Structure formats: structure tokens, C-alpha cells
A and B are shown apart, each in its own frame.
Chain A
Amino acid sequence: MGNVLVWAIWIGAAAACLGSGIAVVSFANPFFSALALIGNLASLAVLFLLASAEFVAAAQVLVYAGAVMVMFLFVIAYLGGRADTPFEGGPSWVSFGAVLAATALLVEIVVAIGLKAGDLLADEAEVGAAFGSPAEIGRFFLTDHLLAFEITSIVLLIAAVGGVILGTKTRAEEQLDRLDKAAP
């Protein structure tokens, strides 16, 4: 019984994941695409939970579906009508090439994983109930992976500084604004 339930939840989450991914790519309006991406991230979090990665699933909902997507929606709302661009560019062979390249990449991934690890995928390791819990992840971050943890903090700091620099007006822009006001 428990087996059937896990499979049912898994299939539902995977279908929602793929469906909302296709929706992100195919919606013309960026606002709806961003909403579809929230659904995609939430269903991915369910898949993470089923792969016994509880902390990563929680972080996914908090960081992505919470913080990052709210920022996306704010920027799309700020841009308003100017966010709408034509669906695809170039002549039709460019679109055909894009579809072809994506399909080729899919085939390549499947072949590479099948050849390299096809027979290793069956023997799954046994894990305890503590696997993927916040306590375990925190312990690993502060012992074995301390360097990665510190580098992540520097990356986030640099990104924050970069965001502020990109957001402030430069001197040239202020001059342009003055010229605009002087000669309407």
C-alpha cells in the first residue's frame, strides 16, 4: 500500500514538473511563465523529498519559490508591457535548429548515462532516517565542506554588490536625463 502511494505521488510530481517546464517555455507572457516556474520548483521540491533530501527540498521552496521568484515577478511587473517580445526570432530554420539541438542533447545525455552507469543504477544504498536532515547537512557544511560554505558567502556578497552597481544611475545616464529635460 505504501509503495503504491509513493509511486502515485512521484508520478504526479514528475508530470507536474515536466508539464510546468513546457509551460514556462511555451507561454507568450513572461508573467505566466514565471508563475509556471513556481509550480515547477514546487513539484521538484516534492521529488527532492521523495529522494530523502528534506533540507534541500525546504531550501528549494524558501529560496527559489519564495525569494527568487518574487524578485522575478517584481521585475516583470516593473517592466510592464515592455517585457513582451515576439515569441521566437530569426527565420524558421533557426527554430528548427533549436528543437533539433535540444533533442540531440537529450539523446546524448541518455546515451552517456546509459553507457557509463546503466548497470550501476540498480543497487541503491541503504540510508537511515537522518539522511538529508538539516542536522546532517549542517554538520557536513561546517566540517567537510567548510571551504564551499565560505566561498558561497563571498559569491552572494559579490552578487549583492553587483546588483546595487547595476541598479544605480551612472553619471552618463544622469546627463542624458538632464538633456532630455532641457530639450523636450
Chain B
Amino acid sequence: MGPDVTWYLVVAALLFSIGTLGVLLRRSPLIVLLSLEIMLNSANLALISFSRLHGDHDGQIFALAVMAVAASEVVVGLGLIVAVARRKLVLDVDRFRVLRG
């Protein structure tokens, strides 16, 4: 027997707050996206540990759907960053005040 589900949840909670800290603290949109990935993955870890707790596959299916949504989010987020960079604007989330084209 390995560690209890509680320990998995502790790691998931710590990872989620590390990701939140990154989103709130950093200015680079790239690092904000990376921190978002950490948050999504900590949610995945919680889903999988609960799925193990109940002996039910639904949590794992949910985690796979979250993975697909995260991949789509990265495509759109990186597309936006490249579009902003092509217009020779400064890559700084504090300056993205106006999203008009």
C-alpha cells in the first residue's frame, strides 16, 4: 500500500496555490500561461486521487477532458501572445488594458 489519498490532496492543494501565486505575481504572459498549466494539473491530480478513492473511472475520464481543454487553451493563448508580439507591443500583462483590434 502506498500513501493515503490525503497526501495526494495535500500535494494538489500546494501545487494549486503555487500556480495561483504565479498567475497573480508574474507579468510575462508566457509565465502566466505556464502557471495556469500548473493549476489545471493540480486539479487533475485531485480528480485522479478521488477516482482512486472511490474505485470509479469517472474522475480519470474528467482528467482526460481537462487535458484536452488545456491543450486548446494553450493554442489560443500562444496565438494571442504571438499576435501581440507581431504588432511590436510590449509583452506585459499589466499593459494589455485594451483588447480592441
- Which residues of A pack against B, CB within 8 Å? 3, 6-7, 10, 14, 17-18, 21-22, 24-25, 30, 33-34, 37, 40-41, 44, 47-48, 50-53, 55-56, 59-60, 63-64, 67-68, 71-72, 75-76, 78-79, 82-90, 95, 97-99, 101-103, 105-106, 109-110, 113, 120-122, 124-127, 131-132, 136-137, 140-141, 145, 148, 152, 155-156, 158-160, 162-163, 166-167, 170, 172-173
Contacts of B56 in A (CB 8 A): 125
Q: Compute how far the CA of A140 lies from the CA of B73 in the bound complex, rounded to whole angstroms.
A: 25
Shortest Cβ distance from A169 into B: residue? B86
Shortest Cβ distance from A153 into B: residue? B68
Q: Which of A21, A47, A63 contacts B18 (CB 8 A)?
A: A21
Q: What is the minimal beta-carbon distance from A171 to any residue of chain B, in angstroms?
A: 11
- Which residues of B pack against A, CB within 8 Å? 1-11, 13-22, 24-28, 30-31, 33-35, 37-38, 41, 44-45, 48-49, 51-58, 60-61, 63-65, 67-76, 78-83, 85-87, 90-94, 101
The 19 sampled A-B contact pairs (Cβ below 8 Å) are A7-B2, A7-B3, A17-B11, A21-B15, A25-B26, A30-B28, A40-B41, A72-B30, A75-B82, A87-B27, A88-B27, A99-B25, A106-B13, A106-B14, A121-B9, A121-B53, A145-B58, A152-B65, A167-B79
Q: Which of A7, A87, A99, A145 contacts B21 (CB 8 A)?
A: A99
B16 and A37 contacting across the interface, CB-CB below 8 Å:
no
Q: Compute how far the CA of A99 lies from the CA of B25 in the bound complex, rounded to whole angstroms.
A: 8
Contacts of B55 in A (CB 8 A): 124-127, 131
Interface of A is mostly: helix
Nearest 8 pairs of A and B residues by beta carbon: A125-B55, A159-B72, A166-B79, A98-B24, A25-B22, A106-B17, A102-B21, A6-B2
Interface of B is mostly: helix
B35 and A76 contacting across the interface, CB-CB below 8 Å:
no
Q: What is the minimal beta-carbon distance from A19 to any residue of chain B, in angstroms?
A: 10
